[in-house]
Amino acid sequence: MNGFYEFQFYLFSLLAIASALLFVTRKNPVPAALWLVNVMFALAGLYVMLDAPFVGVIQVLVYAGAIMVVFVFVVMLLNLGRSGISDIRSLGSRLGAGAVGLALLANLLVVQRQRIPRVALAPEIDNVVEGVAASLFTDYLVAFELTSLVLLVAIIGAVLLAKKRVRL
Amino acid sequence: MIPTLLGVLILLPILGFLANGSIAFFGKRAEGDGATTARHPLVTLIGPGVILAAFGVAVALFLDMQRAPEQALHIVRYGQWMPVGNLVIDWSLQLDQLSILMVLVITGVGSLIHLFSIGYMRDDASYARYFAYLNLFVAFMLVLVLGASYPVLFVGWEGVGLASYLLIGFWFSDKANAEAGKKAFVVNRVGDFGFLVAMFLIWVTTQKLDFIGAHAALGAMAGTPVVLAIALFLFIGCAGKSAQLPLYIWLPDAMAGPTPVSALIHAATMVTAGVYLVARAAPIFSGAPEASLVITAVGALTALFAATIALRQWDIKKVLAYSTVSQLGYMFVGVGSGAYTAGVFHLVTHAFFKALLFLGAGSVIHAMHHAYHHTHRDEDPQDLRNMGGLAKYMPATAVAMTLATLAIAGIPPLAGFFSKDEILASVFARAHGSPLASASLLGIPGSTVLYGAYAVGVLTALLTAIYMTRMLLLAFYGSNRTGEAEQEMLHEAPTIMTAPVLVLGALTVVGGWLNLPALIPLGPVGLLEHWLEPVVGSSASRLAGAGHLDHRTETILVAVAITVAVVGIVIALLRYRKPIADKAHSPVDESVLARAYHVDGLVDAIIVRPISAFANIVLTRGVETGIDRAFSAGGSMLSRTAALVGSKLQDGDVGKYAWLLAAGALALLAALTLS
Amino acid sequence: MISEALIVSAILFVIGVVGVLTRRNAIILFMCAELMLNAVNLSFVALAKMHNVTGHVFVVMVMTIAAAEAAVGLAILISVYRHFGTVDLSSLRTLRG
């Protein structure tokens, strides 16, 4: 059981990383968006394997299903898929970015090793949804309400911003 | 009784200063020509009045002290001044034989000069201001001689320097006068530095600054290098205030002030503060024979130096100024060789005849000025070449001036003879067998120094007789060179001016009786010596040692002195018999003596110019460029540079922003990992 | 598994950063930002296994905010495209300091 679990874990991880790499290197925004969707699917799988089924589901529903769809919509709307000139920066920039990236990675790994203590795993919860709901609507109620406010503002803002100016 | 009287004594001139000062400040401004509206009757009453009253108080104090000579020393404490840690300085005044003597001279001669000033400054627009400053000076001078500790003395010391500056530059609308005042103050400052260092040394060594305590402690340390250092630094202070080499350069320039000021400050009182200080600090100086030798040597050299210059001066006040420097040198020879009484005696007699000479010169200048004013001629009323034969027009003044000239030359039985002779005799006596003689100065044995000082003193006496007679002849005798038209206006000064002159003349005649030597039996012997014994006696005997003159030597010395004086007068009579031309028709005197050895030029080139140049550099490069620009322009340069860098960073390129973000995050994380 | 998940999260995050530094297309930039947010979500979930369910709550919050941000950002992008005719960042420089 453990072996299979591990194999699956590594599979999903590899899928996520490979898709991310491919996403970053595509010239055309449409395939890039699709590769990102793939990343999200792989992550959803990882979430489920980490005993967060609720999060996994809403990842697919909200992130992959809604947010990425909006991205693809906008790409289509602006007809950006046809550009011939690549928007990737020069080699120098890429190498520099690579260096920064590697440095950052090294840092993060060291921090993870140093600062995150090895504690025992939390007891498994039967009904995760119930647990999340309980926490969300009691301890973090204010945050919850505020996020709904943020969503409202975002909706109004998006509508206003994207509106075509009406020439009178 | 005594504390109140002392307090009143000091308060009187201070009140005079405040009253006259208020009148000067708030009173009606005189009109342009200031002819008759300038003189304010209240000022005439208060100005000289407070000083006369102070003289009365001084006499009362003196009589009181005479009645009980054993209890003559009084120290009156008026309150605390500076309690700092274990240094406690009080406002204390010390009344003893020495200080009452000085007070009598200051208030006595001072009141005569105040009376004279009523006439002299009658037509001056700043009449009230003059008396205010004069009162202020007397107040500070009294503080100086009555102070019971070095700091209080120093207050007086500085105060008289201030008053001197104010009075020298009294007519400050003429820039040269203001410059002279500045010069006096600055040169004095150099001396004050020495005084301050001496005070610091005294404090560090003895933890005491009052005279009684400090002198007791220092007397026990006689002969040590510390006492020598203190003595030398004190002498630097004296050299500044009393115009000894090389700090004498301010005194001739100080003649720019009104003539009564020259009489009071630069003849009778302020310049004698240095002599007073040496006498007061006798325990220190007698405990440092090398320092005393230095003082004697400097005094002798100054006396000779100034006398040579006076031989070729044409301005009557300049002759008297250099004469003062020369006579001060004599006083320092006296107190330097341990003959404190002799030095102070000469101080007193010099006050009499020098004040007389200056006031007489004032009367002369007053008359000459009026004459030239009347005929609208623009000639120098102070130049000897423009005078001549004034005895015909100003007989009383002429008689007094003649008496004073004879006194300063050293003709018996006038005052100057006794005091000068006593100094020379004391130096001669101490040149053999005293601690001074055994000490050595830079390798030269003390006896050589003292014999040398004696010789110089005799030579200077000769020169003094010559130049003073010259002055007398050129001014009062011979034919008049002022001019036909002016002669009508030449007349004796008003009584208010002539009377004090005559009083001083009388004092010049009888002043010698203050300290008659045993050799010449004319009256009570050594009155002053006995009077000052409790104050300076022990110090004097310490330095005198076994030095003593036998009867025969003393007689020879007296004979030498008289001969020299007579010879000097005769030389002058022979030399200046021939008539000379008036100033307008005389060539400009370019001789070295007339130009006072070009000392002022040297000082200017060696000291003043380099310092000015340096100050200029510091000001322009240092302050203007460094500080002003740094702060005003520098501040704006800083903001501009910062803004430039900032604007380069914010050029709208989002890519660049992203880079900066990444770099910043990396830096923070690195700090986290590395900490 | 937690440490491996954290490593994966770090790698994904760094890929996102590199993407932001390398690309000039604004939409791709947005999507890289989404990738970074996802990486963070993975971290939260992994650590929730170690502590309590608060991690999941935070993931929900992150997702909500990401949604709002995407909506508004894309609306702005549309306005920009309409005004400037391009979404290439190197030509969008009017906000100079």
Residue type, B500: P
- The alpha carbon dihedral of B213, B216, B220, B222 has a sign of positive
Residues 649-668 of B with CB under 8 A from C: 649-655, 658-659, 662
Report if residue A116 sits inside a domain. Answer: no
pLDDT level of residue B82 (50, 70, 90 thresholds): confident
Average pLDDT over residues B539-565: 81
Tell me, yes or no, whether A168 lies in a domain: yes
Q: Supply the pLDDT for residue B634.
A: 77
Instruction: Assess whether A3 and A58 both reside in one domain.
Output: yes
Q: What average pLDDT does range B605-617 have in this prediction? A: 87
The predicted structure's pLDDT at residue B143: 92
Among the partner residues B655, B666, B672, nearest to A100 by beta-carbon distance: B666
If one counts the domains in chain A, the total is 2
**Neighbors of chain A with 3 or more C-beta pairs under 8 Å:** B, C
In a domain, C95, yes or no: no
3-class SS letters over B27-39 = CCCCCCCCCCCCC
Q: Distance (Å, rounded) from C-alpha B229 to C-alpha B232? A: 5
Strand B87-95 with B440-441, pairing: unpaired
Cβ–Cβ contact B662 with A under 8 A: yes
Query: Is A91 part of any domain?
Result: no
Q: How high is the ipTM of this complex?
A: 0.91
The residue written with tokens 């370019």 in the block is: B590
B642 min Cα distance to partner chain A (Å): 27
Size of interface A-B (CB pairs under 8 A): 21
The predicted pLDDT at position B33 comes to 45
Longest pairwise C-alpha distance within chain B: 116
What was the pLDDT predicted at B35? 40
Do C33 and C16 contact (CB within 8 A), yes or no?
yes
Question: DSSP state, B494?
Answer: P
Nearest CA in chain A to B670: A107
Is residue A71 assigned to a domain? yes
Of C6, C38, C59, the CB nearest to A40: C38
Task: List chain C residues with CB under 8 Å of B668.
Answer: none
Using a CB-CB cut-off of 8 Å, the residues of chain B touching A88 are: none
Give the DSSP letter of residue C51.
S
Q: Among residues C15, C29, C58, C38, which one has the least CA distance to residue A41?
A: C38
Residue B37: pLDDT band (50, 70, 90) is: very low
Q: Tokens in use for B638?
A: 């800083």
Specify whether A72 is located in the same domain as A132: no
| Cβ distance of B662 and C95 shorter than 8 Å | no
Q: What is the pLDDT of residue B288?
A: 86
Asked whether residue C80 is domain-assigned, the answer is yes
Q: Taking a C-beta distance cutoff of 8 angstroms, is the pair B99, B273 a contact?
A: no
CA distance B655 to chain C (A): 7
Q: Which residue has the tokens 């007789």?
A: B465
- Which residues constitute the domain of residue C33? 2-90
Instruction: Kindly state the average pLDDT of the residues B102-109.
Output: 92
According to the model, what pLDDT value does residue B34 have?
Answer: 42
- For B74-100, what is the mean pLDDT? 84
Mean pLDDT of B397-402: 90
> What would the mean pLDDT of B519-545 be, rounded to a whole number?
77
Mean pLDDT, chain B, whole residue set? 85
Residues in A closer than 8 angstroms to B655, CB to CB, are: 89
The token pair at B245 is: 């080499």
Say if the Cβ atoms of A104 and B663 lie within 8 Å: no
Strands B444-445 and B440-441: antiparallel
Q: Which residue of C has its CA nearest to B662?
A: C17
Nearest chain B Cα distance for residue A88, angstroms: 12
Q: pLDDT class for A26, splitting at 50, 70, 90?
A: confident
The nearest CA of chain A is from the CA of B614 a distance in Å of 57
Other CB atoms within 10 A of residue A24 CB: 22
Domain count, chain C: 1
pLDDT value for C61? 94
Determine which helix (DSSP H) or strand (DSSP E) holds B246, and give its type and residue range: none
Q: CA B164 to CA B188: how far, in whole Å?
A: 10
pLDDT digits (tens, 9 = 90+) for B188-225: 999 999 999 999 999 998 888 888 888 888 888 877 88
Averaged pLDDT score across all residues of chain C: 89
* Interfacial A residues in 5-44 facing C (CB < 8 Å): 5-6, 9-10, 13, 16-17, 20-21, 23-24, 29, 32-33, 36, 39-40, 43
Residue A89 falls inside a structural domain: no
Does residue C69 form part of some domain? Answer: yes
Return left, alpha or beta for B76; rule: phi > 0 is left, psi -120 to 50 is alpha, else beta: beta
Burial of B423 (0-12, 13-18, 19+ CB in 10 A): buried
Query: Which residues in chain A are contacts of C81 at CB distance < 8 A?
Result: 78
Mean pLDDT of B646-651: 80
- Identify residue B563 by its one-letter amino acid code: T
Nearest CA in chain C to A152: C68
Across the interface, whether the CB atoms of C20 and B662 are under 8 A apart is answered: yes
Token output for A63: 């992130």
**Among C11, C33, C25, CA closest to C86:** C25
Give counts: helices (H), strands (E), chain B. Answer: 27, 4
Q: Residue B468: pLDDT band by 50, 70, 90 thresholds?
A: very high
Pairing assessment for the beta strands B87-95 and B444-445 based on DSSP bridges: unpaired
Q: Which CATH number belongs to the domain containing residue A6 in this structure?
A: 1.20.120.1200
With 90 as the cut, is the pLDDT of residue B155 above it? Answer: yes
Is C96–B658 a contact, with Cβ atoms under 8 angstroms apart? Answer: no
Geometric angle at alpha carbon B301, from B297 and B304, rounded to 5°: 145
pLDDT at B38 over 60: no
Residue B372 CA to its chain's centroid (Å): 32
The pLDDT score that the predictor gives to residue B653 is 79
Separation in Å, CA of B644 to nearest CA in chain C: 10
Calpha distance C95→B653 (Å, rounded) = 8
Enumerate residues 6+ apart whose C-beta is below 8 A from B464.
B307, B323, B326, B327, B408, B409, B410, B568
Supply the pTM of this predicted model.
0.69
Q: Is residue A51 part of a domain?
A: yes
Q: Answer yes or no: is pLDDT of C97 > 60.
A: no
DSSP structural state of residue B222: T
In this complex, the residue of C20, C24, C93 whose CB is nearest that of residue B652 is: C93
A41 within some domain: yes
CA distance B128 to B26: 10
What range does the domain containing A161 cover?
Answer: 126-168
Residue B269 has pLDDT above 90, yes or no: no
pLDDT tens-digit readout, B158-199? 999 999 999 998 988 888 889 899 889 999 999 999 999 999
A162 pLDDT higher than 90: no
For A58-104, how does the pLDDT look when each residue is reduced to its tens digit (9 = 90+)?
999 999 999 999 999 988 888 766 666 677 777 888 888 899 999 99
Stretch among B58-62, B76-80, C30-34 having the lowest mean pLDDT? B76-80
Q: What are the tokens at B317?
A: 């006040």
User: To the nearest whole percent, how much of chain B has pLDDT over 70?
Assistant: 97
Of A98, A73, A82, A100, give the one whose Cα is nearest residue A158.
A73
Query: What is the 3-class SS of B105-145, one letter each residue?
Result: HHHHHHHHHHHHHHHHCCCCCCHHHHHHHHHHHHHHHHHHH
CA–CA min distance C4, chain A (Å): 9
Whether A8 is covered by a domain: the verdict is: yes
CA–CA distance, B447 with B439 (Å, rounded to integer): 8
pLDDT of B646: 82
Cβ neighbours of residue B607 closer than 8 Å, sequence gap 6 or more: none
Give the model's pLDDT for residue A79. 76
Q: Give B562 or B576, the one with higher predicted confidence.
A: B562
Instruction: Give me the CATH number covering residue C82.
Output: 1.10.287.3510
What lies within 8 Å, CB to CB, of C19 at 6+ separation is A23, A24, C28, C29, C32, C35
Q: Token digits for B143?
A: 């503080």
Most confident by average pLDDT, B324-328, B425-429, B653-657: B324-328
Does any domain span residue C97? no
| CB-CB under 8 Å, A125 with C4 | no
Question: CB–CB of C93 and B647 under 8 A?
Answer: no
Least confident of B22-31, B55-64, B253-262: B22-31
The verdict on A1 and A77 lying in the same domain is yes
pLDDT of residue A85: 64
Specify burial of residue C25 (Cβ count, 10 A radius: 0-12, 13-18, 19+).
buried
Mean pLDDT across the stretch B86-102? Answer: 86
The answer to whether residues A79 and A131 belong to one domain is no
Same domain, A8 and A68: yes
Which pLDDT does position B84 carry in this prediction?
79
Nearest to B669 among A89, A97, A111 (CB): A111
Please tell me the distance from the alpha carbon of residue A160 to that of residue B258, in angstroms, as a whole number: 94
Measured in degrees and rounded to the nearest 5, phi and psi for residue B96 equal -140, -170
Structure tokens at B111: 């009141």
Bigger pLDDT: C85 vs B613: B613
Q: What is the mean pLDDT of residues B573-599?
A: 77
Q: Are C5 and A155 within 8 A, CB to CB?
A: no
Q: Is residue B32 very low, low, confident or very high in pLDDT (cuts 50, 70, 90)?
A: very low
Nearest to C8 by CA among A100, A1, A9, A23: A9
Q: Does B506 touch chain A (CB under 8 A)?
A: no
Residue C1 or residue B350, greater confidence: B350
pLDDT beyond 50 at B36: no
The tokens describing C25, both together, are 């297309």
| Cα angle A92-A94-A95, degrees, rounded to a multiple of 5 | 65
Using the 3D structure, point to which of A18, A52, A83 is the last residue of a domain: A83
Q: What distance, in Å, lies between the first and last C-alpha atoms of chain A?
A: 69
Is A111 in the B-facing interface, judged by CB distances under 8 Å?
yes
Q: How far apart are CA B134 and CA B116, in angstroms?
A: 12
